[in-house]
Amino acid sequence: MSEFETRSVSRLPGFYRLDIAARRRHLVDTSSVDEERLASIDPGALPIEVADAMIENVIGVYALPFAVAVNFVVDGIETLIPMVIEEPSVVAAASNAARIAWPSGFVTSASRPVMIGQIQITMIEDVDAAAAALSEAASDLLDDARRRLPRLVERGGGPVALEARILAREDSPDGGVVVVHLHVDCRDAMGANLINTLCEALAERVAQIARGRPGVRVVSNLSDERTITVRCHVDDDALAEGGNGAEARAAIAAASRFAELDPYRATTHNKGIMNGVDAVLLATGQDWRAVEAGAHAFAARTGAYRPLAVWRESGRGLDGCLVMPLAVGTLGGALHTHPAARLALELANIEHADRLAAVAAAAGLASNLAALRALATEGIQRGHMSLHARGLALAAGAAGELVEQVAVELSACGDLTTRRAREILVRLTRSV
């Protein structure tokens, strides 16, 4: 039986104090996942043979902590958010921010899941004529493209548009260069594979129409037509926690403006957002490098590098809004092979790509709120200390109850080193 009487899925005060078995009991009680499935995230649960089939030159399996962030409500649904990350405090900070945003939580809206495939054509003698010919052939080419993806079309997706852009005139080192953009609604797939296949299949015909040579044929990771917007509102009272809510509100808004004015700060601001987003992407087996590349290119789309999320004062509270491209899939990729990635989707009740994007973006906005709130008030180091101290205690060889005892003493003395952790451990061990 779960320790939580409320039957709430995600509002779980004290979850962090439970042991792993008790946390798992709650998951079993509130999701479709049973104990046996949970065992698939035990160390070594990715069989080495499966790992060997996933990538090349495998020599082992590399494990990372798998956690759930609590207190999230995403589009009105209480959600436990799966996160895989090596950095202390990210899960706690996101959970803490989600508690501040409770009960209205995070509200999202997703664009259509349209990805872009690129076919580059070089050595064109007349780029204007090529662009005109490609525009004329667009509807034929699209029909051809649709015929190649019957199942995607059946699911309501498929190629939706084709356009030609002139990149260089005839006197460039590559002659005239035109790129054809194929816009494809990928539904629940991330889409890179299907788009790459499509671009390769169409390249020869596109080159003939343009009277040039086919060049690079691949998906673009600047998926700016597949975006997610997530908003939340937090009241001063929730922000305050014994402090001054109005002050924290003003300081967070000022920290947001700082990121809007300065790319050095905007980069770190966005890094904090990606702490939350990437952890969800890793847990759910996504291509997080693709999302990272797209996010930063999107942040720089105006020519200046800007924050992906901004915070504005609104009455006695703050409104936060994050907009970013999020190309994710609930079909294909590592989900075919990685049992923990499938489990992560199940734990969060995620069936479709747009829901996965919503959950990852909510974790991103929550991480940003937590970071700005800490930076605007007490700073980020205090929160890091206790987990860091536990890490040092473990590294010094502490086990069981001694981990916490060593960590408490280490934090109290402020000398966060393995040497001091060892000294404390030796003393505590002698005294038992």
Interface contacts to ligand MEV, rule CB under 6 A: 87, 268-269, 271-272, 275, 371, 375, 380
**Residue 338 annotated in active site:** no
For residues 87 and 143, which CB has a smaller minimum distance to ligand MEV in the complex? 87
For residues 152 and 369, which CB has a smaller minimum distance to ligand MEV in the complex? 369
Q: H helices within 172-234, ranges in order?
A: 192-210
Alpha-carbon Rg for the chain in angstroms: 25
Q: How far is the CB of 292 from ligand MEV (least distance, A)?
A: 14
For residues 217 and 269, which CB has a smaller minimum distance to ligand MEV in the complex? 269
Residues contacting 196, CB < 8 A, separation 6+: 117, 217, 218, 219
- 61: its two tokens: 């399996």
- DSSP count for the chain of H helices, then E strands: 16, 10
Residues contacting 30, CB < 8 A, separation 6+: 2, 7, 9, 80
Residues contacting 48, CB < 8 A, separation 6+: 58, 60, 61
Instruction: Identify the active-site residue in 181, 183, 384, 388.
Output: 384
**Residue 87 annotated in active site:** yes
Comparing CA positions, the residue from 309, 200, 321, 313 lying closest to residue 265 is 309
Instruction: Identify the active-site residue in 181, 183, 271, 352.
Output: 271
Helix, strand, coil % (nearest 5) of the chain? 50, 20, 30
Q: How far is the CB of 379 from ligand MEV (least distance, A)?
A: 10
For residues 269 and 306, which CB has a smaller minimum distance to ligand MEV in the complex? 269
Q: How far is the CB of 234 from ligand MEV (least distance, A)?
A: 16
Pairing of strands 66-74, 77-84: antiparallel
- 373: its two tokens: 């709130």
Q: How far is the CB of 432 from ligand MEV (least distance, A)?
A: 37
Q: How far is the CB of 93 from ligand MEV (least distance, A)?
A: 8
**Residue 271 annotated in active site:** yes
Q: What 3-state DSSP class applies to 134?
A: helix
Q: H helices within 19-168, ranges in order?
A: 20-30, 35-38, 48-54, 90-101, 127-147, 150-154
CA dist 369 and 308 (Å) reads 12
Instruction: Identify the active-site residue in 29, 34, 42, 87.
Output: 87
For residues 87 and 136, which CB has a smaller minimum distance to ligand MEV in the complex? 87
| Residue that has been written with the tokens 């997610």 in this structure | 228
Residue nearest to ligand MEV (CB): 272
401 burial via Cβ count (<10 Å: 0-12, 13-18, 19+): exposed
Strand (E) or helix (H) holding 117: strand 114-124
Q: How far is the CB of 99 from ligand MEV (least distance, A)?
A: 18
Beta bridge partners of 351: none
For residues 46 and 282, which CB has a smaller minimum distance to ligand MEV in the complex? 282
Q: How far is the CB of 380 from ligand MEV (least distance, A)?
A: 5
Strand (E) or helix (H) holding 176: strand 176-185
Q: How far apart are the first and last CA of the chain?
A: 34
Q: How far is the CB of 307 from ligand MEV (least distance, A)?
A: 9
For residues 127 and 362, which CB has a smaller minimum distance to ligand MEV in the complex? 362
For residues 278 and 354, which CB has a smaller minimum distance to ligand MEV in the complex? 278
**Residue 26 annotated in active site:** no
Which strands, in side-by-side order, build the sheet including 77-84?
77-84, 66-74, 106-110, 227-235, 317-325, 309-313
Instruction: Identify the active-site residue in 52, 260, 262, 287.
Output: 287
**Which residues are known to be catalytic?**
87, 271, 287, 384
